[in-house]
A and B are shown apart, each in its own frame.
Chain A
Amino acid sequence: MIKYFRYFFLLLLFACEGDSDVSPSNSGENTGTGGSLARFTISGDYLYAVDAQRLLTFSLEEAMSPKQVDLFELDWGVETIFAMDTLIFVGTQTGMHVFDITERSRPGYLSGFEHVESCDPVVAQDTLAFVTLRSGNSCRNGINRLDVLDVRDLRDPKLIRSIPMQNPHGLAVRGKHLFVCEGQFGMKVFEIQENAALEEIEFYSSIRSKDVILSNDSLMVVVADDGLFQYDYSDVSNISLLSQIRKEF
């Protein structure tokens, strides 16, 4: 019996933690860029981090000695954090939460958007947020889809549309293009149209992917189960491999 509990709680603990995808979560000269599966992000002099159920804020005023300045309790199953301007999007297994960090040391809770239990990184651009829901042995529900949310009213995000997917992990958005990692199935590229409709314009079955970073207008870094891959994506219809670092089997 204990054995079963053990697996049960391991499932709970590590649900969805293992994989995720990437998108630019912050930028600027002094800080770097993580993927959409990141649990840390830096904005200004503050580090925002999520653990399994909380959003923590650290002041980096003394760079080597961060100080915790805030703590916000969320629901169990927090997975990812994404910063956009003065906003923070937190992806959890039950939804998406939006915080205002205009006052950087004290994130203010704006809204929560609930969806079915699933693994779900979130990225955002302008007035839209993109959330992937994924099934998998550690993600309790068997839903695979991409949700597009209208976040013009940050206090009341609205689901615009859901697109069925195969096994979406991380994602990244740049300009009118949205890149979604489909795990072992490859990578999909969508064009974001005027009315927030998404048109799938490419499906690269050869680009197996768990997470992705778009670093400038040409460099795409992808992590997959079998290693690390870099591509030139300046022509999204003709993404080309630059280099690969294969993992050791």
Chain B
Amino acid sequence: MKSIVRNFLLIPVLVIGILTLENCCYDDDCCYGDCDPQREWGLKAVYSNDLDDIIALEQPRSLVNPSKIYLYRQYLLVNEAQKGIHIFDNSDPRNPLPLHFLKILGGNDVAIKDDVLYADQFDNLVSISLASVADKLEKERLEDVFRNFNAYDVRPEESEVYYECPDPALGTVIDWVADSVDYPCYTY
């Protein structure tokens, strides 16, 4: 009975998967609204599978979309949805000091044990050694373990632009460049 229920529950997943592809205009039948032209000047995704492009220690930045929070030793971590993690020295909670922004493209969740930080990176699990922050950041990735489907939803910051619908199979979108785009998506 349980397996029947499970199989039944798989259906919406498959449907969503198919709709996702359709949303992303991989075939000629797809056009938006009142049939936009199939080739537009817009933004083309730049993909990478190089972890150095996807995970990096950067200067602190402002909170834009704070989501998950995490306390570890004297540190306070705040996830910036899909972008990475703000790290504060919270030794004095009256005066938290911004230390770093740990860029993790596609990251939403975090947990730490023994100075190793674990995070989701779209459908991958990444591990980052916090002991290595002073040097070259040590990081590993276990690929394709999660089914979050959020990699399909990556879009440029700009509104009202055509852009290449992301294909996660090609890698993580690390940038956007102006180009002509076939069967584009559109940001509203």
Q: A3-B32, A30-B113 are in contact. Are A9 and B16 (CB under 8 A)?
A: yes
Asked, given contacts A31-B112, A40-B110, A243-B93, whether A66 binds B66 with beta carbons under 8 Å apart, the answer is no
Choose one: B71, B76, B153; the contact of A13 (CB below 8 Å): B153
* Complex contact A5–B114 (CB within 8 A): no
The residue in chain B whose Cβ has the minimal distance to the Cβ of A211 is: B69
| Size of B's binding interface in residues, CB under 8 A | 60
Would you call B16 and A53 a contact (CB within 8 A)?
A: no
B32 touches A2 (CB 8 A): yes
Cβ of A54 within 8 Å of any chain B Cβ, yes or no, is yes
Chain A positions within 8 Å of B112 at CB level: 31-32, 42
A247 and B150 contact, Cβ closer than 8 Å, known pairs A9-B16, A32-B112: no
Contact A12 B16 (CB under 8 A): yes
CA distance A205 to B62 in the complex (A): 25
Contact A64 B150 (CB under 8 A): no
| Segment of B37-45, B141-149, B156-164, B173-181 in the binding face | B141-149
Query: What chain B residues lie within 8 Å of A3 (beta carbons)?
Result: 32-33
Which of B111, B146, B153 lies in contact with A31, CB distance below 8 A? B111
A63 sits at the interface (CB 8 A):
yes
Chain B residues whose C-beta falls within 8 Å of the C-beta of A223 in the assembled complex: 66-69, 78
Write out, one digit per residue, whether chain A residues 26-39 have a CB within 8 A of any chain B CB (1) or not (0): 10001111110111
Flag if A2 contacts B138 (CB, 8 Å): no
Contacting residues of chain B (33-63) with chain A, CB-CB under 8 angstroms = 33, 62-63
Q: Measured between alpha carbons, how far is A153 from B77 in the docked complex, in Å?
A: 36
Known interface pairs A30-B113, A49-B125. Does A22 touch B69 (Cβ–Cβ under 8 Å)? yes
Q: Is the CB of A42 within 8 A of B113?
A: yes
In the bound complex, what is the Cα–Cα distance between A228 and B152 (angstroms)? 29
Pairwise interchain contact A30-B114, C-beta atoms closer than 8 A:
yes
A135 to B31, CA, bound (A): 33
Q: Ordered nearest first, which 4 A-B pairs have the shortest CB separation?
A: A32-B72, A248-B62, A247-B63, A40-B111
Residues of chain A at the chain B interface (Cβ within 8 Å): 2-3, 5-6, 8-10, 12-14, 17-20, 22, 26, 30-35, 37-42, 47, 49, 51-54, 56, 58, 60, 63-68, 73, 75-76, 210-211, 213, 215, 219, 221, 223-224, 227-228, 230, 242-243, 245-248
